[in-house]
Structure 1
Amino acid sequence: MTTAAAYREFATGETRGLSPAYERLSLAVSRDRDLLDLIDTLPPVKRQPNLLFGVVRLLGGPVEDPTAFREFTLEHWPAVAAQMRVRATQTNEAGRCAVLLPALAALPQPLALLEVGASAGLCLYPDRYAYRYGDRRIGTGAPVLDCAATGAPLPAAPPRVVWRAGLDLNPLDVADPADVAWLDALIWPEHTHRRARLRAAASVAAADPPLLVRGDLVDDLPALAARAPADATLVVFHTSVLYQVPPPRREAFVELVRGLPGHWLANEAPDVLAHPGLPEPPGDALHNVLALDGRPLAWTRGHGQALVWFG
């Protein structure tokens, strides 16, 4: 896929109806030869819209107006490119726990959670948050995670977690203001509710920090998994992570995780982690597939805002 096509797809598939600012920016970039030529000097994995827009926001640039964005990005391109080369889209959206919850709660309790691509580890606390699925409320914690659920087997209570660990090439620390600033920069401009959720979830993590290990999802996963308590159900999970992993390494990870004890819970785009025979997605917006041990269960939205169960 060309860079222009990727930005058009981001506009129509991910941001339409959710972020007018990023929809405008994505479409403008997709038609701007000067910006596209600059973006194409970066490695393919570093060209995605979320990374560019997040870096510009982090550097204090404008993202509401495409003309102002263009001027800032062209003028500050060396600084923008330098940040894009060393950073990754580490969106740590606690709201994704809402689409993981039905699968996690149905497994033998208690759980030992191990997240691959954990960022700051905010998705390692599904037991500490509260959930609102329409009129149905589950749990008593904070933040409250809203999710439109269709056909999902909703549990009576959150899962019980006795061990939580994360693996990431560059784990982030919620006690570090610079790391929290990067997480904030990755949140779309209009999503003030997600900024409030980030702060609330960061408070949960700071009060009881998870075990976060700097490492590779293939080389270092077995050793970390071996540290999980034997009397808990190990769940290795990831959400919107594998698109950043080159296909050969992705395949090696899938082969490895299938052989680990416990369960594997994936929430990834279907063109990143394929599942034959999927039903039609519910609409034109980009959806991920929630799958347990390789068996697809549901369509999900990227920030955990919707879940359509078919498994």
Structure 2
Amino acid sequence: MTTGETYAEFAAREARGVSPVYERLASAVARDEGFLGLLAGLPAAKRQPNLFFGVVRLLGGPVADPAAFRDFATAHWPKIEAEMRVRITQTNEAGRCAVLLPLLAALPQPLALLEVGASAGLCLYPDRYSYRYGDHAVGTGEPVLTCAAHGLVPPAERPRVVWRADLDLNPLNVTDPADVAWLDALIWPEHDHRRARLGAAAAIAAADPPLLVPGDLGDDLPALAAQAPADATLVVFHTSVLHLVPAPRRTAFTATVTGLPGHWIANESLGVLPYDPLPPPPTGGSVHVLALDGRPTAWTRPHGQEITWIS
């Protein structure tokens, strides 16, 4: 897929109906030979829309108007390019806990959670957030994670977590204002509710930080997993991570994680992991496949806003 096609697909499949600003912007970049030429100077993995747009927002650039965006990005391209080369997309959406909760709550308690590609580790606190699935509430307090649930009965209680670890090539620290600024820049422009959620979730994580370990999801996973308490159920999980990993490394990771004690939860875009034929996914935007120990259980939306059980 060419860079132009990547931006056009992002506009049509991910941003449409979710972020009109990014839909317009991605469509404009997809047709702009000047931008496509600049992006061609970056490694393929560094050309992605979320990274480009997030860096421009981090640097104070405008995104609401494609023309103003073009003027800013062209004038500041050397600085933008330098940031894109050293950064990776690390969207840390606590709302994804709403689609993980039905699986986590059903496992033997207590849990030892190990997230790979965890960014700042905000998804390591499913026991501290509250949830609303339609009229069904789970827990109390802030933030409240709202999720439309189809084909399942939401859990009655939150899981009990006794250990949390974050394995990431570049883990972010929610007590560092620069790291929080990058997390904020990755939130799509219209999503003020997600920005408020980030603040509430970051406060929870800062009060009780997880174990932050810089490392590779394959090479360093067994050693970190071995640190989990023996009297807790180990759960290794990840969301929207493996599409950034080359296919051979995904295969190696799968072999590693399936060889560990405990359970493996994957929540990745359709096609990232191999599964037997699945029923048709819900229409109306990008979907993920939620799987437990390699078995698909549900369709989910990327930010945790909807879950549809696979019967």
Partner of 1:306: 306
For residues 24-72 of structure 1, the C-alpha deviation after alignment (integer angstroms, 9 at most, x for no partner) is 0000000001101111211111111000000000011000000011111
Distance across 2 between alignment mates of 1:171 and 1:152:
34
Partner of 1:70: 70
Q: Flag structure 1 segments of 5+ consecutive residues without an equivalent.
A: none
Q: Please give the root-mean-square deviation of Cα atoms over the aligned residues, in Å.
A: 0.8
Partner of 1:213: 213
Partner of 1:171: 171
Partner of 1:45: 45
CA offset at residue 219 of structure 1?
0.9
User: What SS does the aligned partner of 2:299 have?
Assistant: strand
Distance across 2 between alignment mates of 1:9 and 1:159:
37
Q: Does 1:276 align with 2:276?
A: yes
Distance across 1 between alignment mates of 2:92 and 2:157:
23
Partner of 2:8: 8
Distance across 2 between alignment mates of 1:7 and 1:243:
16
Distance across 2 between alignment mates of 1:266 and 1:24:
31
Distance across 1 between alignment mates of 2:153 and 2:108:
15
% same residue: 72
Partner of 1:32: 32
Distance across 2 between alignment mates of 1:76 and 1:245:
29
Q: Which amino acid aligns with 2:189?
A: P
Partner of 2:129: 129
Distance across 1 between alignment mates of 2:272 and 2:2:
17
User: What SS does the aligned partner of 1:264 have?
Assistant: strand
For residues 213-272 of structure 1, the C-alpha deviation after alignment (integer angstroms, 9 at most, x for no partner) is 000111110000000001100000000011111111111101110111100000001221
Q: Which amino acid aligns with 2:231?
A: D
Distance across 1 between alignment mates of 2:277 and 2:245:
24
Q: Which amino acid aligns with 2:244?
A: Q
CA offset at residue 152 of structure 1?
2.1
User: What SS does the aligned partner of 2:72 have?
Assistant: helix
Partner of 1:149: 149
CA offset at residue 153 of structure 1?
3.3
Partner of 1:253: 253
User: What SS does the aligned partner of 1:166 have?
Assistant: strand
Partner of 2:264: 264
User: What SS does the aligned partner of 1:167 have?
Assistant: strand
Partner of 2:114: 114
Q: Which amino acid aligns with 2:157?
A: A
User: What SS does the aligned partner of 1:179 have?
Assistant: helix
Q: Which amino acid aligns with 1:263?
A: H
User: What SS does the aligned partner of 1:132 have?
Assistant: strand
Distance across 2 between alignment mates of 1:189 and 1:215:
31
Distance across 1 between alignment mates of 2:104 and 2:218:
23
The worse-fitting range, judged by mean Cα deviation, of 177-186 and 281-290 is 281-290
For residues 78-137 of structure 1, the C-alpha deviation after alignment (integer angstroms, 9 at most, x for no partner) is 111110110000000000000000011111111000000010010000000000001110
CA offset at residue 284 of structure 1?
4.1
Partner of 1:232: 232
User: What SS does the aligned partner of 2:141 have?
Assistant: coil
Partner of 1:290: 290
User: What SS does the aligned partner of 2:63 have?
Assistant: coil
Distance across 2 between alignment mates of 1:3 and 1:213:
33
Distance across 1 between alignment mates of 2:157 and 2:285:
30
Q: Flag structure 2 segments of 5+ consecutive residues without an equivalent.
A: none
Distance across 1 between alignment mates of 2:87 and 2:34:
22
Partner of 2:138: 138
Deviation >6 Å, runs of 4+ = none
Distance across 2 between alignment mates of 1:293 and 1:141:
31
Distance across 1 between alignment mates of 2:73 and 2:278:
40
TM-score normalised by structure 1 residue count: 0.99
